[in-house]
Structure formats: structure tokens, C-alpha cells
Amino acid sequence: MKKKFLIFSGIFITLSLSRFIPHPPNFTTLVALSFYVPVILGRKYIFYLVLSFVVTDILIGYHNTTQWTWGSVIFIGILSSFFKNEITHRICGALFSALLFYLITNFGVWTTGLYAFTTKGLLECFIMAIPFFGYSLISTLFFSVILESILLIFKINIKTINIIIINKNNIIVLIKLILLIFI
């Protein structure tokens, strides 16, 4: 139970810092965490990831497309296991996840009625969101490289990580490294 609380705390702190510290629009750890948490820790930790989003969204303010964000987090988390074997697959998978996030969440924006309920309205919605997609791609690449660097520095093998990461000291070191990135 203590291990799960530490992992939830690490996910929550990382997500919170990237969402609450002033940043360009969509330049957060959102997509990278949605992709890497299940890759590194397993699909069972998608729940803790979504719980972290729920808590931060309560603090930021729930809006009418929040459920599309949470849905994309779950979808990305499930799909991430197909990309976990090699670093290039993981980076490509994370960038593909940014595209999925863009498509899913902007479809959600379209369903709110801000744009006409036509093909033209849907295309307009996607076109208007392109600048946000650019920030999302850049941040996903940025945070993916940081996470991959941590894996390389600590010589952590994705296939054996559940054996390594269970050590409380490793979790605390990873949380400190993540905090150093933001402070």
C-alpha cells in the first residue's frame, strides 16, 4: 500500500507541477505521463494516473471537455504497451499519443457546439487547435527524452522495472529527479 501511495504521489506531483507552474498552452507532462506510466509501471497504474488528473482538474476547474481528456489518457495508456520494447518505439509511440490526444480532445471540443456540427465545423475545430498541438508535440518529446534519460542513467530495463522500482529508495530518487527538472 505504501508503494502505491508513493507512486501515486510521484505521478501527482509531476503532473501538478507541469499543470500549475505557468507554461505555454498544452506544454505539460500530460501526454508523456499518459504514455510512460503504463509502459514503465504497468497498465494497473493507469488508475493512479487518471486519479491524479481528477484531483488536478478539480483544483484547476472542471470543464465540458475534461472527460475527453481523461478518456484520451486511458486510451493512450492502454495503447502504450504496444510501443514499449525499444527506445525508438517508445518515443514514436509517445508522439503518436500526442496526435491521439489532439484528435480525441478536439473532437470533444467540437461536440460542445463551439463549431458547427458539420464536417466543415469539425475541420475548423482541428485547424484552430494546431498551435496547441505544436506545443503538445514539443512537450511530449521534451518530457519523453527526460524520462528516457532517467531510464538510461539508472540503467533501468523496462522488462524488469517492477522488480527494480519497488525499492522505496528508487522511487524517492525518481521523485527528486523529477522535482529537480521543474525547480
pLDDT at 179 over 60: no
Sign of torsion over alpha carbons 18, 126, 111, 93:
negative
pLDDT at 9 over 60: yes
The pLDDT of residue 167:
54
The span from the CA of 76 to the CA of 128, in Å, is: 23
Q: Extract the C-alpha cell encoding 72.
A: 484520451
pLDDT in tens, 107-116: 999 999 999 9
Cα of 5 vs its chain's centroid, Å: 19
**With bands split at pLDDT 50, 70 and 90, how would you rate the model's confidence at 176?**
low
pTM exceeding 0.85: no
Domain 2-182 has CATH 1.10.1760: yes
